[in-house]
Amino acid sequence: MLIRTGFFSITALTAALYGAELAAADAAPAEGAPAATEAAAPAAQPTAVVVTVNGVAITRAELDRATQALLALNHMQAPADANQTKKMEEAAQEQMIAEELLYQAAKKEEVPDLDKKVEAKFDEVKAQFPTPEEFTKALKKNGITEQELKDLLRRDVVIGVYIEKQSAAGTAVTAEQAKSFYDENLDKFKKPDSVHASHILIRVAPKATDEEKQSAKKKGDDLLAKLKGGADFAEVAKQESGDLSAKQGGDLGEFSRGQMVKPFEDAAFGLKPGDLSEVVETQFGYHIIKSTGKTEAQTAPFAEVQEKIVQYLTETQAQKQMVAKIAELKKAGTIVPAVPAK
């Protein structure tokens, strides 16, 4: 389980709870691996400073944990290639620098009810574990106390509030901008044709005998005759269908091409609203399908997607603003990489 918190200190937090375990796994030699022919270079001391940000040190241990967390968050294994390892470390270091710069800027501003917000975040994180014991075990296993976790969450809250304020200070996305985006990206708003259908399934086991299949087919034919005679489709589905949709009277909702198996799809799309299909065979058994609606392929009208476009453009604008803010903070700050030992 990965703990997800804010935009930047997510790496630090995840590293704190999971980094040690990941690092230990990566450090273990592979079974059957040949012995090294020459001694490996001595590892840097955990307390060694790798970079300072306006006088605040980031240590080797912090960078290693952040790198492991970055790998975990991207579902990646530790790279065997030294160049790839270096790139991952550089990415993690850049993220840590950005986080530290933002925190230094953010902590100058007051955050209302900060303690309450931190406690709420703490409870949210704790709730992600199956039991309180599992949470405590994760903390102990990775050498972090509850207070240290709360300190990380405090940074998270402070940075998050700062980012929200910076974003709110930006120019609001106008309806005209949203419409321009819509007009320039019409392909993104095309909706394929779809049908709304219900079905009754007479389920057949994968290894059913010919006799069992014939019996299921006969039941399907009998139910179809009953429906054509005026029986209520939803009621018959509730009583006779072997699908989970039976509880909803067989209602499958709306679906487009490619979402159902081919024989079912062909039959459903070939019906007019209100029509019943013949008995259709698929790998699941025998179906009776009823079309309850059909929508032709179309482009979603602007009014339908305007809100989502505004949200997308707002988020994109906020990201650009934050990148620019970090660049501004870097330019005004003093970032000093450690000099590699010779």
Cα separation, 53 vs 71, whole angstroms: 23
DSSP 29-87: PPTTPPPPSSPPPPPPPTT-EEEEETTEEEEHHHHHHHHHHHHHHTT-PPPSSHHHHHH
Question: Which CATH number belongs to the domain containing residue 198 in this structure?
Answer: 3.10.50.40
For the record, the structure tokens of 319 come out as 């990201």
On whether residue 280 sits in a domain, the answer given is yes
Q: Tell me what the mean pLDDT of segment 3-29 comes to.
A: 41
Confidence (pLDDT) at 43: 58
CA distance linking residue 189 with residue 300, whole number of Å = 6
Tell whether 183 is covered by a domain. Answer: no
- Helix (H) and strand (E) counts in the chain: 12, 9
| Residue 167 resides in a domain | yes
Residues 142 and 236 in one domain: no
Cα–Cα distance between 101 and 331 in angstroms, integer? 11
Question: What is the pLDDT confidence band of residue 227, given thresholds at 50, 70 and 90?
Answer: very high
17 plus 137 within the same structural domain: yes
Residues 161 and 52 in one domain: yes
Would you state the pLDDT for residue 64? Answer: 87
One domain for residues 226 and 281: yes
**In terms of Cα–Cα distance, which of 153, 4, 145 is closest to 72?**
4
Flag whether 248 is in a domain.
yes
Answer yes or no: is 4 within a domain: no
Residue 78 domain flag: yes
CATH code (residue 161): 1.10.4030.10
The domain total for the chain is 2
Give the sign of the dihedral formed by CA 260, CA 261, CA 266, CA 270.
negative
Question: What angle do helix axes 20-27 and 60-73 make, rounded to 10 degrees?
Answer: 90
Same-domain status, 222 and 94: no
Same-domain status, 225 and 142? no
Interatomic CA distance for residues 136 and 203, integer angstroms: 48
Share of the chain above pLDDT 70, in %: 86
Q: CA nearest 167: which of 328, 320, 308?
A: 320
- 16 and 123 assigned to the same domain: yes
Q: Is 215 within a domain?
A: yes
- Residue 341: predicted pLDDT: 59
Q: What is the pLDDT of residues 229-288, one digit of tens each?
A: 999 999 999 999 999 999 999 999 999 999 999 999 999 999 999 999 999 999 999 999
- 20, 154: one domain: yes
Q: Taking CA 6 as the corner, what is the angle to CA 17 and CA 134, rounded to the nearest 5 degrees?
A: 30
Answer whether 136's CB lies under 8 Å from 17's CB: no
Residue with tokens 């609203």: 273
Distance CA 98, CA 94 (A): 6
5, 122 Cβ separation under 8 angstroms: no
pLDDT at 342: 56
Task: Give me the count of residues in the chain.
Answer: 342
Per-residue pLDDT tens digits for 300-311: 999 999 999 999
- Verify that 62 and 139 share a domain, yes or no: yes
Same domain, 62 and 138: yes
Can you give the pLDDT at residue 142? 66
- Specify the pLDDT at position 38: 42
Which pLDDT score is estimated for 119?
95
Do 93 and 132 belong to one domain?
yes
Host domain of residue 270: 193-296
